[in-house]
Structure 1
């Protein structure tokens, strides 16, 4: 497990196979154009073999998948059903909890900030995150007519591209590699453990079996994304321990984290129709979900989410 290793060393590791692949294609303008065109045609899992015929070096991804232990089919099906029943709430939590939770990690927030689009075009970032989660949690995620596998590949390439460009732009090596193993572990937990935590705050009763299955499912996705197995929690306690260790090391105020949070809030304000919550209640709801410690790191307004709205949330969750 990660806690038995030197975490500082893990900050110096990105995703070697994906990094080698991106370096090969991004260092040559013609090769990069060829890759970009091929990626546009890579929409469903059934398109993979045609993509591989055009971009043969992408076989690193296929070879890696063959070495990953897939969860039992029944567990996968149960987890996908669990997600589908709570999809509306989980997708809300991705924007209101998971993303800002990641922004609290100061060094990781620098990566998100410097990739620019993630704070200048927040709505697109939210849409892409939702599309990714919907694809990997769909019942056909790993079938030919699904898109889970190709979405995972594209995200993996995107992470490697961020490392490639940021390191060429004078990235501070003392921070570790951009999108390093520690940062990826924290992000993976924000989609699993932190979502479960958020559902419970909303009023859902989640038993340990469902929690563990959900974490295991995201472990599987995380490993396909290039996360090292030693960073994947085997149970709820390990998940909490890893989360706590990363938070102790990385969570602190940063200009980048605060700016990303404000950009996220501004996006929510622009999309809000005011029918269910007011703009003032949005940061209050985020503070309710995140807790005061993380909220203060992000400089969220000191607002209290109304008790009446909490009760309505609990009622709505009990009916779902």
Structure 2
């Protein structure tokens, strides 16, 4: 991805020099940037990815991803009418596409929104019980509740545990502060949703009061799509590189010291404390991580540090990660 951030030279050349002094602190151009960054440790790690990217991102038609909707896949490949509600049929998006190989043709799978529906679903929320003498029902995997209720308790527990704490919860599972019963089968089998259902459950040594509401949801309707993108493995590999791989690094373009750092990063990781050595800066430029060199390491580059990226070194792919920490020796 192209970096659109402006350097001091670019700002001066574009006639924005008058604003430099006023905005220097926000942009990380203050004169004491280096002193502010002293003590920051940057660790580079590379994890090898064996084989072609096709092994990771492309599924055979007869061996689809477990999360895919099989009926949606059949419909998309055969140009038949089919829709899913609320969930994307392949959990794919333009930024995270899915691919399948069918009859020697590679397809990119996705979906388009074709409608919206309004549904009412039960929502389970749990609240820590205070002083109740009622006998709770065991909501754990060892209890007698149906599987759907056990899942609901587990997810609602995440939300209950996070209230008032900084730990957070899995947003993809927790909705509206609890668990939403969308499955007809789970509703029919549920003991928690019954009129005489339990008022309290226990989970991981905590007793919770059960709250059930019926709430309205506006849900998208998706039509699955399958776009042919390649007819041979080589072109498919090129598509995957263009989609997922960032920097391409060649051994011939690196100095001996930079290659040594790269070797250590592939083994146990490599760390340096700012200000960095010339070799480390050379390697960071080759990896297109210039904010770690040209800006304030903590403020400008820290937001990129923990975002993993795939790179290619010679003919091998690696997952690249950078971690910024305070120097533990201080």
* TM-score, L = length of structure 1: 0.20
Q: Which structure has greater helix proportion? A: 1
* TM-score, L = length of structure 2: 0.19
